[in-house]
Every structure is written in C-alpha cells, then in structure tokens.
C-alpha cells in the first residue's frame, strides 16, 4: 500500500471516530449517561454497532478517549511555547487550548462539560486522566527549565497548580450554565497563581 493510501485510510478512520464521538457526546449530554444506549449512538452516527465497537469498548470509553485527546493537546501546546516565556504564561496557553475549544462551541461544549462533572463515573475517569496530564506536564516543564524532574518538586507542583486552575474555571463555567466567560475566568485564575508558578529559580531548598 502506498503512503498516500495509508494516509487516506487513517484520515477516513479519524473521520469515523470523530463522528462517533460527536454523536455519543451530544446524546449523552442531552439525555444522560445512564439512559443512552450504544444502539442510539450508532443510529445517530449512521454506522453499525460493529463499527462502534471497532473504535470504542463502551460508551464510557468515548468520553475517556475524548479526555485523553484533550490532555494530548495541552501537552503539545506547552511543548510548542517559546522557552523564553515564564512558566505561568506557557501553562496558561497550554490549559487554554481545551478551554478555547469550549468557548468556540459554547452551547454544545457546556452540556458535555456538565455531563462529565455531574456524572460520578465520568468525573472519576476525568480525575484519573488528569493524573496522567499532570505527569506529562511536569515532564515537559522539567525539560523546558532544565530541572531534574525526579529530584525537584517544582514541576509536579506547578503542573498540579495549573490543572487546579483549569478545574476551577471549568467548574465555575459549568455552575453558571455558561454565563461566565472562560477567558476571563482563566485570566483571573492565573493572576492568582502566576507569581507562585514563576517563583522557580528564585528559591532553593535549605542547605543549598
């Protein structure tokens, strides 16, 4: 098979996965996680049940993959930021990527966010995924700042702090039913945590 053929096949596969994800998330958000069946999802997406299970193990797996992709985007954005940027600026840009996607599709995204935050099983998987996000961001921060990620506390603390701000913004946006602006909330959150994030290098452990 040619490289062009592989590329087209991959693009087709991604298109089907995206259509399934979109149909599943919107149905789940509209009707509730416990109510929606896989049969409804495939009917909405216009594919067979066999096709669904070729991509996802369950309807919960759709949400888990959505969250995994979100985490990949956050890390990729942090890795792409100029090394000259202070940590607070680079991290703000990183966590803003999924928040910007929410802001660009506010009505649709709000229902999905509320579904995840208000469904215990999905919220648990969200927190589980964030543990991986935190580890990935910490690794990237250590690389950017030329720190020993195993010995230094800063990368893990900074990554966790940035994700706490991300969570706070999502929660406030969800609780307000979309009335509050995610961009303004993000600016406010990072105004609070920015000085702590940028303190790296200005302090050292006792005895150094």
Query: Residue 167: pLDDT band by 50, 70, 90 thresholds?
Result: very high
Q: Is the same domain home to 43 and 92? A: no
62 domain-assigned: yes
Residue 130 confidence (pLDDT) above 50: yes
- pLDDT tens, residue by residue, 44-69: 888 889 999 998 988 888 888 888 88
Percentage of the chain beyond pLDDT 70 is: 93
Structural domain count, the chain: 2
- pLDDT tens, residue by residue, 89-103: 999 999 999 999 888
The pLDDT assigned to 182 comes to: 93
203 domain-assigned: no
Burial class (CB in 10 A: 0-12, 13-18, 19+), 67: buried
45 domain-assigned: yes
Closest to 117 measured CA to CA, from 67, 157, 71: 67
Q: Is the same domain home to 67 and 141? A: yes
- Domain with 28, as residue range(s), is 1-56
Residue 172 confidence (pLDDT) above 90: yes
Q: In whole angstroms, what is the distance from residue 2 CA to residue 23 CA?
A: 32
42: domain CATH number? Answer: 1.10.10.60
Do 41 and 27 meet the contact criterion of CB atoms below 8 Å apart? yes
Residue 87: count other Cβ atoms within 10 Å of its Cβ.
25
Q: Is the same domain home to 8 and 96? A: no
């Amino acid at each position: 098979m040619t490289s062009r053929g592989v590329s087209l096949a991959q693009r087709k596969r991604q298109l089907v996965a995206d259509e399934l994800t979109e149909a599943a998330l919107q149905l789940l958000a509209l009707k509730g996680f416990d109510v929606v069946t896989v049969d409804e999802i495939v009917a909405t997406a216009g594919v067979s049940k066999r096709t669904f299970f070729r991509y996802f193990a369950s309807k919960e797996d759709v949400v888990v993959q959505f969250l995994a992709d979100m985490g990949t985007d956050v890390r990729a954005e942090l890795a792409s930021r100029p090394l000259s940027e202070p940590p607070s600026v680079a991290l703000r840009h990183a966590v803003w990527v999924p928040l910007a996607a929410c802001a660009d599709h506010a009505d649709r995204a709000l229902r999905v966010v509320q579904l995840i935050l208000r469904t215990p099983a999905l919220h648990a998987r969200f927190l589980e995924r964030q543990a991986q996000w935190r580890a990935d961001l910490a690794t990237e921060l250590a690389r950017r700042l030329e720190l020993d990620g195993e010995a230094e506390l800063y990368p893990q603390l900074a990554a966790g702090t940035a994700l706490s701000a991300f969570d706070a913004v999502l929660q406030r946006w969800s609780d307000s039913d979309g009335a509050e602006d995610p961009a303004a909330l993000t600016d406010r959150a990072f105004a609070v945590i920015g000085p702590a994030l940028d303190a790296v290098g200005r302090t050292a452990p006792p005895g150094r």
